Structure 1
Amino acid sequence: MKATTMLALAGTAIAADMPSITMKGSKFFYPNGTQFFMKGVAYQREYTGGSHSTRATGSSKQYTDPLSDKKTCERDIPLLAELGTNTIRTYAIDPDANHDDCMKLLQQHNIYVVSDLSEPQTSINRDQPAWNLHLYERYTKVIDAMSKYPNVIGFFAGNEVSNNATNTPASAYVKAAVRDSKAYIKKNSKRWMGVGYAANDDKAIRAEMADYFNCGNSDESIDFWGYNIYSWCGTNTMKGSGYSDQVDFFKDYNVPVFFAEYGCNEPSGAEGRIFQETEALYSKEMTDVFSGGIVYMFHQEANDYGLVKIDGDKASKMKNFGALKKQVLKADPKGVSQNDYKPSGKARSCPAIGKAWKAASGLPPSPDKDLCDCMMKSLECTIDSDLDEKSYGELFGNICAHNNPACAGIAAKPELGNYGAYGMCKPDQQLAYVLDSYYKKNGKTAKACAWKGAKLQSASSVSGECQKRIDAAEKTNKDVASATSAISPSKTGSGDKDNAAIRGAPATGLAIGAAALAGAVFAL
């Protein structure tokens, strides 16, 4: 994918540059070598219609970009500064909007940004996970939109996608998003910006989650780990809240760890919060390991976690606003200088596959528009241009039932780390591939392309590099029919088009069906 002009201008600020944050080992640093600790607040109104990590695709935008309205930012950013905030987290920004005014105001108040890359309708769905061109285009557009601002620390590739032991396969797709987002930044940006993940605090998988996203090649692993934790409620202690256990667990982690969300509202709701945990978070007992945290959340909503009530254009500070302000302003964490700091942490080992964990180290392939386009040119049986997307699921289900080898190219088996070559293409391209594969495996008879919504066409001439890459992908897809264990990485071409992430998938238990593929379409 080509970098946009915006990303090419990364590092050119719209105002006097704030010093950009960098990372060394498990710490964040200012350019002068002083350690940076987040004193953060989550800054975004709640999504309409529910959790963004389980939303299906709809037709209307279900979020409001918090950094695209100058008037709103002029009202809210001084309040954030009053709290002692030096970092905000945004959950969904519109990459087509103009953020100059709000980002300038944030710079004027010395506030950094960490932003999620997804949005409610374009995110990795824990129930029907995918990592494909549609998602990749969204993620890279957000990177393009935000990279020119020096006060952007980095991005989250996912938020609580795998949130219990039943949906851990989805983490493979998020880690693939981490890998490809990091590669995009490395190729196109002039400065470091991190890509991390924000996890919930589920006892059954929290260790496996932290290990999985940190294990393996550094090009694939997270740059920082965000932890959404609400275990310290009211008056508590390091031991009683479990904070001491977290310090012990992460003490040898090799990338920065911080609370991506915190601020329990039990037992008395938002107004009962005293933020005793904030004092603990910036104490010596925690700052050797944790790099601060982000309080959830600025806006008072139905979930009752707010610091500020919004009534029309008016913002009113709540009681717990003062409680947080008191704790943050007195917090004075003592860090280490960058020159004196000698990182000692090591990457974790990948978790074993078992009852509680079903995502292997092998990842889904990187989205590759050129390969998908090459494949589409080679098809003799394809989808009719009039076919409604709502019909995709039925067609997928009819053809791919009973582990049909025609579907091997889009199959997935996360517990083995095996994936077909074309699972990263857009849904219409995947369906076209399946139709053509079925047609060719059934003798190219007219009946084999007689599905409702399918049509015969004359394949375009494909040669050279394009054919070479299709042949390599087909070799991978042939392995799908017989593999019963992890398959060694293969390549779909040469040079910059290499895709070593593509792997085969076993014929038994292909993760394809009417519900899964329909979900993949509508979760984009």
Structure 2
Amino acid sequence: MFKVASLGVLSWLALLVQLFSFVHAELDPIVIKGSHFFTKTDGKAFIIRGLTYYSPTFGSFSSTQPVDALADGPTCERDLPFFQDLNINVLRIYYINPTLDHSACMKLLSDAGIYVVADVTGAAYDIDAYNPRWHEGLLNSYTQVVDSLASFTNLLALSVGGFMSDEDQLTFVKAATRDVKQHIREKGLREIPIGWVSITWGRTTDTIAEYKEALEFVTCTEERADFFGLLMVSGRDTEPCPRAEDVDHFARSFQDSTIPVFSSDTGCWVEAQEKDNRTYGYMSEFFKNNATESLSGAIVMTFLPNLTQNQSYGLVNVGGANGDEIMPMNGFSALSSAMATVKPSFSNAVDYTPTATTPPCPTNPSNAGHPTMQPKPYSLLCSCMVDSLRCVAKKDVFNTNNVAELFDNISNACDHNMTSNCPGLTVDTYKGVFGAFSGCNNSVAYSWAANEYWQHHGDNACDLNGTAELRDERPPPSNDCKFLLDQVGKNGQNTLTAFLDSTPTGTSGTSGTATGSSQSVSGNAKKLSKGMKAGIALGVLLCVITVLLTAPLALRRKKKSKKGKEAISQSDPSDLPEFVPPPTHAQQQQNRLSELPEFQGLMRHSHHG
């Protein structure tokens, strides 16, 4: 007969310890009210004390693939004590590879009370300054990053406008914000703050005025940015750190903002380790009461050194016998001392009433664009269009050629007049005019321009300096594709207004139904978080334990009341059922690997220190 006592008290305790080690406390998500961050449950003000964290090779012109620091659990564990020495509560991550597992590092950070602000743009796939537009490749890559991090409650926010240095790109940042937020709603994910950052910093009144106009542009409609991050460095050859008055000027300039504003990149540079006399005295200014009224903190550049620039903002070096030992620089100690005493404060959410009102959209914005945003990229239209073309871009053309030269080819193919000769690719942010194919990825847009050129110049013209090739005659489009292509016109000059509720079939056939809304999104059902799954598992296990502990007592009482009757036969299970935890984040990611589209973005390197 099964004896519960045979398990022993220590066995029960060990089992419970194993369970509780899995069920770790999740951090309270951060929400926004007015121009400030607050914890969701208790409504306490949350002011950023942050640090940028990325691989030393990030932004290196010799590196073709950036490194996702958040996917390296052992390295996170190595560096965590140093994060804690700096008294930080936020890490900013420049690059996320959505196919990797981030659970180990995110758990370590969560247990230490540290949140993450991540860029969805990364180093390679960003809105390009040379040919800015919002296209399906960017949308796919951005939403993959969202999906890979959304389950972690210590994800504070996501930036869709990383490294924005040209204000002309703001209309695309606004479109990206709109579509990423729509993706979050359609998938039933928790509300995650979506905002943008700029890498341009200036102290003059004119520069601040331009920023405020840009802020009005990205916050004047319903699908507005949730926060704004601004670069703040010295800019003076003889002074490695910003001045205290710079912070004060920063705070006063944005006191009427309707969204949280913080310094997403600040710090002090050093040319050589032996000359590291950085003090970080200005950092305390961010956390004084007069500053926290309008600012939500600051993120310091950067934990690891950038190996590609003469001036480094790094706080530590990596070396030692095995090449992986953290060696703090003098600047690390100085920043640690400066941050040890800061105690920023602001009202709790319940006592805070926002006074700033949503600004009207600028009528003639000098540094933004027309209020009309580029429509959401519609991959079905792009697929139908490229399937109908005979002259198309060669495979991987954007991975093996100079991007500037490729867009020169497009300009030449359109006779340097995109609006008249290639209206389907028109992108005019000041007039709010966007061609129907402007949201297609680079290779598809390139193919359309190549096909237009070939149609006007004959078979020998389908080359474009060896980047295009001619295909066999194409079959007629399916009814679905014809429905879409007829709306936009032969040259893509019209706007698509009616969509399909299913994926078009090949090049012939009839399936799919027209609808006035965008394509349906599958998999919208809300998924249980890891904490919820673990809580369910805990409840089930405790029920099992209760039953097993009380069952022998009940059986003995039943035996005594039925003397003389045949003893109740019992099975003799060898032990409790083995506890199997819910799928890990890595296992969940495996299902996505085969689904990632082969998108082509424009390679561009960061200029961060």
Return the TM-score normalized by structure 2. Answer: 0.69
Matches of 2:247 and 2:58, distance apart in 1 = 32
Residues 88 and 408 from structure 1, CA distance in 2 versus in 1: closer, same or farther, beyond 3 angstroms?
same
Letter in 1 for 2:446: L
2:500 is aligned with 1:497: no
Match of 1:187 in 2: 186
Same amino acid, percent of matched pairs: 26
Matches of 2:98 and 2:243, distance apart in 1 = 42
SS of equivalent to 1:153: strand
Aligned residue runs from structure 1 range 313-328, under 5 A: 313-328=324-339
Residues 214 and 187 from structure 1, CA distance in 2 versus in 1: closer, same or farther, beyond 3 angstroms?
farther
SS of equivalent to 1:325: helix
By how many angstroms is 1:224 displaced? Answer: 0.5
Residues 48 and 160 from structure 1, CA distance in 2 versus in 1: closer, same or farther, beyond 3 angstroms?
closer
Aligned residue runs from structure 1 range 46-61, under 5 A: 46-48=56-58, 50=60, 61=64
Matches of 2:386 and 2:95, distance apart in 1 = 32
Letter in 1 for 2:184: I
Aligned residue runs from structure 1 range 315-394, under 5 A: 315-351=326-362, 353=364, 357=367, 359-377=369-387, 379-383=388-392, 388-389=397-398, 390=401, 393=407
Residues 19 and 286 from structure 1, CA distance in 2 versus in 1: closer, same or farther, beyond 3 angstroms?
same
2:43 is aligned with 1:38: no
Matches of 1:358 and 1:29, distance apart in 2 = 30
Q: What's the CA shift string for 1:343-363, capped at 9, x where partnerless?
A: 122233445657x62533332
Task: Note if contact 2:214-2:367 (Cα within 8 Å) is conserved in structure 1.
Answer: no
By how many angstroms is 1:45 displaced? Answer: 2.6
Matches of 1:92 and 1:472, distance apart in 2 = 38
Runs (5+) with no aligned partner, structure 1: 1-12, 480-488, 500-518
Moved more, 431-440 or 90-99: 431-440
2:86 is aligned with 1:83: yes
Within the candidate set 248, 253, 261, 1:249 is matched to 253
By how many angstroms is 1:121 displaced? Answer: 1.9
Residues 193 and 205 from structure 1, CA distance in 2 versus in 1: closer, same or farther, beyond 3 angstroms?
same
How many equivalent pairs are there? 464
Task: Note if contact 1:43-1:66 (Cα within 8 Å) is conserved in structure 2.
Answer: yes
Match of 1:407 in 2: 422
Matches of 1:99 and 1:274, distance apart in 2 = 34
Letter in 1 for 2:146: I
Highest Rg: 1 or 2?
Answer: 2
Matches of 1:196 and 1:226, distance apart in 2 = 8
2:35 is aligned with 1:26: yes
2:286 is aligned with 1:287: no
Matches of 2:271 and 2:312, distance apart in 1 = 12
Match of 2:440 in 1: 425
Letter in 2 for 1:496: S
Residues 387 and 34 from structure 1, CA distance in 2 versus in 1: closer, same or farther, beyond 3 angstroms?
closer
Aligned residue runs from structure 1 range 63-462, under 5 A: 63-162=66-165, 167-199=166-198, 200-202=200-202, 203=204, 205-215=207-217, 217-231=220-234, 238=244, 241-265=245-269, 271-302=276-307, 303-311=311-319, 312-351=323-362, 353=364, 357=367, 359-377=369-387, 379-383=388-392, 388-389=397-398, 390=401, 393=407, 395-403=409-417, 405-437=420-452, 447=458, 450-452=461-463, 453-455=469-471, 457-462=473-478
Match of 1:504 in 2: none
Matches of 2:301 and 2:393, distance apart in 1 = 47
Task: Note if contact 2:136-2:440 (Cα within 8 Å) is conserved in structure 1.
Answer: yes
Return the TM-score normalized by structure 1. Answer: 0.79
Q: What's the CA shift string for 1:322-354, capped at 9, x where partnerless?
A: 222222221111211111111122233445657
2:503 is aligned with 1:478: no
By how many angstroms is 1:90 displaced? Answer: 0.6
Letter in 2 for 1:432: S
Residues 223 and 289 from structure 1, CA distance in 2 versus in 1: closer, same or farther, beyond 3 angstroms?
same
Moved more, 312-321 or 79-88: 312-321
Letter in 1 for 2:276: E
Residues 335 and 386 from structure 1, CA distance in 2 versus in 1: closer, same or farther, beyond 3 angstroms?
closer
Matches of 1:298 and 1:384, distance apart in 2 = 42
Matches of 2:97 and 2:214, distance apart in 1 = 30
Matches of 1:126 and 1:394, distance apart in 2 = 14
By how many angstroms is 1:438 displaced? Answer: 5.6
2:25 is aligned with 1:16: yes
Task: Note if contact 1:214-1:221 (Cα within 8 Å) is conserved in structure 2.
Answer: no
Q: What's the CA shift string for 1:416-435, capped at 9, x where partnerless?
A: 22211111112232133334
Task: Note if contact 2:43-2:349 (Cα within 8 Å) is conserved in structure 1.
Answer: yes
SS of equivalent to 1:247: helix
By how many angstroms is 1:243 displaced? Answer: 2.6
Runs (5+) with no aligned partner, structure 2: 1-21, 464-468, 500-514, 521-599
